[in-house]
Amino acid sequence: MARYVERKKSWWLTCCSCCSRGEDVEDYVRGPGGTGGRPSDRPTDGSYSPGGEYGPGGEYTPGGERIPGGNRATGGGTIGENHEGANGTSEPGSNGNLPPMPTGNLQVQSVDLLKSRGGENRRSHHTDEYECDELIVRRGQPFQICVTFQRPFNPKSDQVCVILQLGNSQPINVPFVSEFDVGGWGCQVAETSGQNILLWVNTSAQAAVGKYQLSVRSGAGTYNDSKLKVYILFNAWCRTDAVFMDNEPWRQEYVLNEIGRIYYGTEHQIGERSWNYGQFNEGVIDSVFYILDRGGISPASRGDPITVTRVISAMVNSMDDNGVVAGSWSGEYADGVNPVAWVGSVDILLKYHQTGTPVKYGQCWVFAAVTTTVLRCLGIPGRTITNFASAHDTDGNLTFDVYFDENMKPLEDKNSDSVWNYHCWNDCWMTRPDLPAGYSGWQAIDATPQETSNGIYCCGPSPVLAIKNGLVNIKYDTPFIFAEVNSDKVFYQRTSNGKFKKVHVEERAVGHCISTKAVGSNAREDITYLYKHPEGSAEERKAVQTAAEYGGKSLAEVDAEDTGDISLTVESQDGVSMGSDINVRITLRNGSGSRRTVSLSMAVAVMYYNGVCKESFKNEECSVLLNPGEAKSVGMKVAYSEYRTQLVDQSAMMLTVSGIVKESGQKLAKQHTFRIRTPDLIIKVHGEACVGQQIVAEIIFQNPLQTTLHNGCFHVEGPGLQRPKVVQVGDVGPLKTISITERFTPRRCGRRQLMASFESNEMSLVHGVTDIDVQE
């Protein structure tokens, strides 16, 4: 008995304001034979059947009992007004001693959202992987709920109405419909069984995404319970959803895959690492909704992926809005986490949700990877992409500009444009009803704070096709992304009157090997063709020309000086391991029929991956004499002892070669970047992995250097396996091997990946990953 008293009490306390006066509700006498009403009594064959395929023996009689327009009872008054309180018979306390009311106004006793992770609702909505016990559904697709009343439901005379409300926005009264309108709000009775009814509830394919409160109105009033939460997400499986993606393997990858590969390095030495997006990890979905709240998106805009992704690109960086990740390129990360040490997004998102303050620190791949997590968690197909030799056009003229003095020495204070060795951003998939036809599909968004758009640090969505064709008038922020992938590199020399003249244009310097993880495998997929026409093609020149015209600057004005008869190429060894010397070779070719003398300057500087160089630490000059038609190479060695104290985060260096040909006055200029390779971690798993059973993994690192690495630590995590964890190991001696042993208990079955990284004061960017097959 006490159980029912308790339930009745909570029922009234959360009911509509007219009833919830806070008085205790005493007795609540269960009726004779009242064993029904438990959710377990519901039919179990409730397969996904939009359009009203009712279960066997369904008493549902189409026709009479639907509620046209949603919330209006046919009897005249609204259902909400028709509760018994109006007659004084169900005032709290007033009916306590009455017997049950088999014929009274229909009163909801309980609502079961059928939300279990392995249940039909969550499996058919592809939400069963979320480590969250709420009902999570994708919009535009029906789900079932079971409603239990105090007496049998009479389809001929009873009405019920499902109400969904997002925050304080206008509640949605889900109308009863005879057939589900594809992608429209609607409700149908699937089955009745004694006091239970099984309802199909269909949400609009334009519904705002978020945490809704569900309530049910019946003849006796509205049943509210704060526990009745429904999380509604975007739906790539629904044809009428703006993020619909008509390809199951793509959806598996771009919505459901929790693990990604992120590419970095240089176009010649592409590195790759695994990343735990972890969009299904416990707490992540709430963090993501928190981000939307912090981003201040109105409920009306929360259904629009254009607005939502633009706000995500703003909120993932901390600029303007105290968003998720604080960027730093300083090399000093002591008061946070070194950007290269993160192994996944989960830690970052959970920390942000807990503290409400930006998490330190990130660089482009961290911003992009967290963005992918947010996109996939919300159900928007998304991927992380890497562009090599990515220009950052700081003055909006759509060219990457490099300035030299009269002697062809770089003018670092004037060179504000830069080329990042690589830069990461995101593609996300949606229709673009706001643009002329043809721009639906992949859209680029970039969450790394680089340049403001309408006054805030956000970027995109910009249709990838518009970027490809140089249509920089197509919103949003297409000029910026166009410049990243296809700006011309223009070299200027200061003349004696202090003005600059163009001395060289490289049309192919920017935007190479645009990469993303392939669908269904760990291979690298080259998607450069989506972002630009082939270098050297007429279409590519047309795109650059088009962009320049929209940018108000015709390339016709840009006449490079005659390129001359001496050519210059630079090669460096591929993938030199940390600790080894590096050999660079500069080759000059004389294409003329005369002798040529070239004065050459070479400068090597350590660079941050964003293209910003430290002051050069090695400079050489020489003079090269070339006979007609002759080619000559000049070698340059950069010893480990020279670079070891110089290196910053990503172990990259830039060689700038410039020169003047004595006889012709021709200017030569070339910038070449190269990268030092760091070692990999080895991960060994001991024993068979089963859900709920502890297993052991050994993670091994060998110091390749003759020097001690200080303040070493490992980051370890894997979705469904191991929550993010940091293990401090202190100093690692010269050439020493260390290992750590991690014990963890897999939470989910299937193929999982365990990832680890190692960082120290002297060396970071050390990663490892291994597959683990987890049995049920």
**Annotated catalytic residue within 392, 423, 533, 715:** 423
Count of other CB atoms within 10 angstroms of residue 331:
11
The least CB distance from residue 461 to Ca ion, in Å, is: 16
The least CB distance from residue 544 to Ca ion, in Å, is: 6
Residue with tokens 């592409």: 270
The least CB distance from residue 467 to Ca ion, in Å, is: 12
The least CB distance from residue 443 to Ca ion, in Å, is: 19
* Cβ proximity to Ca ion, 180 vs 480, nearer residue: 480
| DSSP alpha helix (H) spans, 565-670 | 640-643
Query: What stretch of H or E contains 464?
Result: helix 464-468
With contact defined as beta carbons under 8 Å apart, do 41 and 32 qualify?
no
Q: Is 364 a catalytic residue?
A: yes
With contact defined as beta carbons under 8 Å apart, do 80 and 222 qualify?
yes
Q: Which two tokens stand for residue 772?
A: 């683990």
Distance (Å, whole) CA 722 – CA 700: 17
Q: In sequence order, what are the beta bridge partners of 525?
A: 516
Distance (Å, whole) CA 84 – CA 101: 12
The answer on whether 486 is annotated among ligand-binding residues is yes
The answer on whether 535 is annotated among ligand-binding residues is yes
CA-closest candidate to residue 660, choices 718, 710, 621: 621
Three-state DSSP string of 286-336:
HHHHHHHHHCCCCHHHCCCHHHHHHHHHHHCECCCCCCCEEECCCCCCCCC
Q: Is 423 a catalytic residue?
A: yes
CA-closest candidate to residue 731, choices 714, 713, 715, 709: 709
Count of other CB atoms within 10 angstroms of residue 34:
16
CA-closest candidate to residue 649, choices 345, 387, 366: 366
* Cβ proximity to Ca ion, 131 vs 506, nearer residue: 506
With contact defined as beta carbons under 8 Å apart, do 212 and 233 qualify?
no
> Among all residues, whose Cβ is closest to Ca ion?
323
The least CB distance from residue 442 to Ca ion, in Å, is: 20
The least CB distance from residue 445 to Ca ion, in Å, is: 13
**Residues in the chain, how many?**
776
* Cβ proximity to Ca ion, 232 vs 324, nearer residue: 324
With contact defined as beta carbons under 8 Å apart, do 624 and 600 qualify?
yes
The answer on whether 120 is annotated among ligand-binding residues is no
CA-closest candidate to residue 764, choices 408, 342, 185, 427: 342
Residue with tokens 């299937």: 750
* Cβ proximity to Ca ion, 163 vs 326, nearer residue: 326
280 Cβ contact list (under 8 Å, min separation 6): 129, 130, 131, 258, 377, 719
With contact defined as beta carbons under 8 Å apart, do 746 and 721 qualify?
yes
**Annotated catalytic residue within 146, 187, 364, 458:** 364
The least CB distance from residue 319 to Ca ion, in Å, is: 4
Distance (Å, whole) CA 41 – CA 57: 14
With contact defined as beta carbons under 8 Å apart, do 241 and 304 qualify?
no
* Cβ proximity to Ca ion, 26 vs 395, nearer residue: 395
The least CB distance from residue 190 to Ca ion, in Å, is: 45
* Cβ proximity to Ca ion, 314 vs 732, nearer residue: 314
Q: Which two tokens stand for residue 291?
A: 């981000």
DSSP class of residue 551 equals T
Write phi, then psi, for 434 (nearest 5 degrees).
Answer: -85, -5
* Cβ proximity to Ca ion, 271 vs 323, nearer residue: 323
Write phi, then psi, for 33 (nearest 5 degrees).
Answer: 70, 15
Q: Is 146 a catalytic residue?
A: no
**Annotated catalytic residue within 446, 477, 565, 649:** 446
757 Cβ contact list (under 8 Å, min separation 6): 273, 340, 341, 342, 343, 681, 714, 715, 764, 766, 767, 768
* Cβ proximity to Ca ion, 202 vs 399, nearer residue: 399
* Cβ proximity to Ca ion, 505 vs 749, nearer residue: 505
Query: What stretch of H or E contains 172?
Result: strand 172-174
The least CB distance from residue 393 to Ca ion, in Å, is: 4
The answer on whether 488 is annotated among ligand-binding residues is yes
Contact residues toward Ca ion (CB under 5 A) are: 314, 317, 319-321, 323, 393, 395, 397, 399, 401, 417, 486, 507
Q: In sequence order, what are the beta bridge partners of 229?
A: 213
CA-closest candidate to residue 381, choices 255, 222, 278: 255
Q: What share of the chain is helix, strand, coil (3-state, %, to 5)?
A: 15, 35, 45
Write phi, then psi, for 147 (nearest 5 degrees).
Answer: -115, 130
The least CB distance from residue 531 to Ca ion, in Å, is: 11
Residue with tokens 């006796």: 220
* Cβ proximity to Ca ion, 90 vs 671, nearer residue: 671
- For helices 538-550 and 478-486, angle between their N-to-C axes, nearest 10 degrees: 140
* Cβ proximity to Ca ion, 362 vs 724, nearer residue: 362
Q: Which two tokens stand for residue 470?
A: 């140089």
Amino acid at 302: R
- Tell me the catalytic residues: 364, 423, 446
Indicate the annotated binding residues for Ca(2+): 486, 488, 535, 540
Indicate the annotated binding residues: 486, 488, 535, 540
